[in-house]
Amino acid sequence: MKILVTGGDGMLGSALLRRLAAGVDGGPAPEASGIDLPDGDLTDAAVAAGLVARHAPDWIIHCAAWTDVDGAEARFDDAMAANGQATANLAMAASAAGSGFTYISTDYVFDGRGRGGDLDAGYDEDDALAPVNRYGLTKAAGEAHVRELDTPWQIVRTSWLFGDGRVNFPKTIRRLLGERETLQVVDDQRGCPTYADDLAEVLALLVSGRHRGIFHATNRGECSWYDLARETAAACGADPDRIRPCTSAQFPRPAARPACSILRSRRLEEAGCPPRPAWQDAVRRYVARLEAGQVGHP
Ligand SMILES: NC(=O)c1ccc[n+]([C@@H]2O[C@H](COP(=O)([O-])OP(=O)(O)OC[C@H]3O[C@@H](n4cnc5c(N)ncnc54)[C@H](OP(=O)(O)O)[C@@H]3O)[C@@H](O)[C@H]2O)c1
């Protein structure tokens, strides 16, 4: 199987390329190539078509995206071009090449109030989209283009992603613990942390099995940002009580953040995907790699 990974230099794309190189399901490694912005801007339809024609993949895993959530409020058109138009361009190229397509989406396509207003209920794969902010709108636009594809497609929604990359939450907490005695972290937003390496494992299985449809893929369990910060502190050998809870109202951001971001997964189990590791386990593994200097962007 020949796989093309967009956003190959990014947090998820780079984890995915490493995972694919190790082979899938005990079989040989698929032939996987990564592309990123220096190879061409996917918002240009001719560029996207040219890249797909050159690589002639059996399957495209589209990890490239505008991921600056607050920046999408001020630069909506640019964010929409990167997440909506670029996805449409790639989908059109996939259709022309007969390639399967995987689109990575987000918890922010939901309204953030929980199904039926129940903050503990979370969201199923089939729940109605009502993006909580402009970034969510652009990602929902990308989803809409993928649903129209006439070749096999997957939409894989994930949340609270961390891994080898320039910025992510556990990495920021670890840095701040070295600079300040106490940290205030919001305790009124709940979601599912996801280690890029564990998501890469799921994506490898979904693509090699050529599964179709919408999937929710995160680490197992849910927590608040405060809980995640405390777990990160413990993994760093710091006293978790140095993390203090606060409310979202104390830290206003340009983009609205969902109170409930919990993604419930049913379809992965139906596709035969084994249970994901718990989020606490994922944090420990990631921080251990950070501490050992084993990550790219330390
Ligand atoms: N990070 C999260 O917490 C999170 C949560 C839920 C879902 N997701 C989704 O997961 C996927 C992967 O996220 P990530 O955090 O791994 O992203 P990332 O590290 O920001 O990587 C995305 C890559 O895409 C590139 N890119 C942006 N615009 C492009 C364009 N027009 N043409 C070609 N390449 C372009 C970026 O290049 P530059 O860096 O040079 O701009 C970057 O290398 C995305 O679809 C994202 O929406 C992320």
pLDDT tens-digit readout, 225-275 = 999 999 999 999 999 999 999 999 998 999 999 999 999 999 999 999 999
**Confidence at residue 294, expressed as pLDDT on a 0 to 100 scale:** 84
**Neighbouring-strand partners of residue 195:** 162
Paired tokens of 112: 């953030």
- Domains located in the chain, CATH noted: 2-167+192-222+261-276 (3.40.50.720)
Q: Is the CB of 36 under 6 A from ligand 1?
A: yes
- 103, 108, 123, 135: which is the annotated catalytic residue? 135
The low-confidence residues of the chain, meaning pLDDT below 70, are: 298
Give nearest CA residue, ligand 1 atom 27: 65
| CA 262 – CA 123 distance, rounded (Å) | 6
Q: How far is CA 232 from CA 107, 131, 177, 221, 283, in A?
A: 22, 29, 10, 15, 6
Distance 15 CA to ligand 1 centre (A): 12
Catalytic (active site) residue 286: no
**Confidence at residue 27, expressed as pLDDT on a 0 to 100 scale:** 80
Ligand 1 atom index nearest CA of 82 = 31
Helix ranges (DSSP H) in 28-121: 45-55, 71-74, 76-80, 86-97
Give nearest CA residue, ligand 1 atom 1: 161
Q: Is the CB of 11 under 6 A from ligand 1?
A: yes
| Mutate-to-test residue for ligand 1 from 67, 154, 162, highest number of ligand atoms within 8 A of CB | 67
| CA 231 – CA 225 distance, rounded (Å) | 10
SS3 70: coil
**Confidence at residue 298, expressed as pLDDT on a 0 to 100 scale:** 59
Q: Is the CB of 193 under 6 A from ligand 1?
A: no
From the list 212, 209, 214, 154, the residue with the least C-alpha distance to 30 is 209
Q: How far is CA 15 from CA 49, 76, 139, 255, 273, in A?
A: 25, 28, 21, 27, 19
Q: How far is CA 217 from CA 31, 104, 135, 226, in A?
A: 24, 10, 19, 22
**Confidence at residue 198, expressed as pLDDT on a 0 to 100 scale:** 98
Ligand 1 atom index nearest CA of 12 = 16
**Confidence at residue 26, expressed as pLDDT on a 0 to 100 scale:** 79
Distance 165 CA to ligand 1 centre (A): 10
Q: Is the CB of 66 under 6 A from ligand 1?
A: yes
Distance 240 CA to ligand 1 centre (A): 31
| CA 102 – CA 154 distance, rounded (Å) | 5
| CA 56 – CA 181 distance, rounded (Å) | 53
Q: Is the CB of 64 under 6 A from ligand 1?
A: yes
